Amino acid sequence: MTNMRPPSKNILLKVVILGDGNVGKSCLMNRFVSNYFDANSFHTIGVEFLNKDLQVDQKRYTLQIWDTAGQERFRALRTPFYRGTDICLLTYAVNDRQSFKALASWRDEFLRYYDVNPDRFPFVVVGTKNDLPAAQREVPAEEVAQWCQEHHVAAYIETSAKTSENVATAFALAVQQWQKFERTTERELRAQSQDTIDLMQSVNLNANRNRFCCAGIGGRPAAGLQDDDDYPN
């Protein structure tokens, strides 16, 4: 019995990373999963995924991280993988204004292929290449914060796959956003099931009333419905 492993209690979450080509999506994933940085990373073709276990707020998760190809010509290869996503990271590079401007179209593309309510889905904006000198920065943090506010994205973080700064924090933040929406959904489901129970109670009351009614019209009700107190012999 010593080699029996306890069942895994990890919650599996599918995380998709989107953003323009060259912003650093593959490097972000590789730094997080393998603690590795490739200064000559090649373009991704289609999608690639890696798993990584993570503990957030005393809960254990397995993140299934999908790194997608940012180049337009690979659109048809990446979009079939959007369905079933739990968390979407929208990435841009702090030294590439165009990649920041493209965030809205990445979000739109995601929503076109995975029909979820954008206001209730954990999108997280991730700035990459935060290690670059200030003189190369093309996207001020305040502008990103404003974009997030306008698009109802609650979380934004800048990272560097090169130095590791904020990489693990970005994924933990993303899980926390997921937890937030999950808790809201759970609360609503609980409230709904409470309503259902109340509804069932009123249905039962009606059922009792019908039973008396049937007895009055047609004599004795069917055997299964009879209550000895109500129908004395």
Give the footprint of ligand GTP on this chain (CB under 6 A).
19, 21-27, 38-41, 43-44, 69-71, 128-129, 131-132, 160-162
Amino acid at 227: D
| Least distance CB 129 / ligand GTP (angstroms) | 4
Tokens of 216: 């009055």
HSE-CB at 4 with a 13 A cutoff on CA atoms is 3
Nearer to ligand GTP, 23 or 88 (CB): 23
Q: Smallest distance, Å, CB 28 to ligand GTP?
A: 7
Least distance in angstroms from the C-beta of 31 to ligand GTP? 8
Closer of 23 and 157 to ligand GTP (Cβ): 23
Report the candidate in 90, 97, 72 with the shortest Cα–Cα distance to residue 21: 72
CA dist 104 and 119 (Å) reads 14
When the beta carbons of 10 and 22 are compared against ligand GTP, the nearer one is: 22
* Pairwise CA distance, residues 32 & 29, whole Å: 5
Tell me the closest approach of the beta carbon of residue 144 to ligand GTP, in angstroms: 16
**CA distances to 37, 125, 168 from 19, in Å:** 18, 10, 19
Q: Which is nearer to ligand GTP, 160 or 221 (CB)?
A: 160
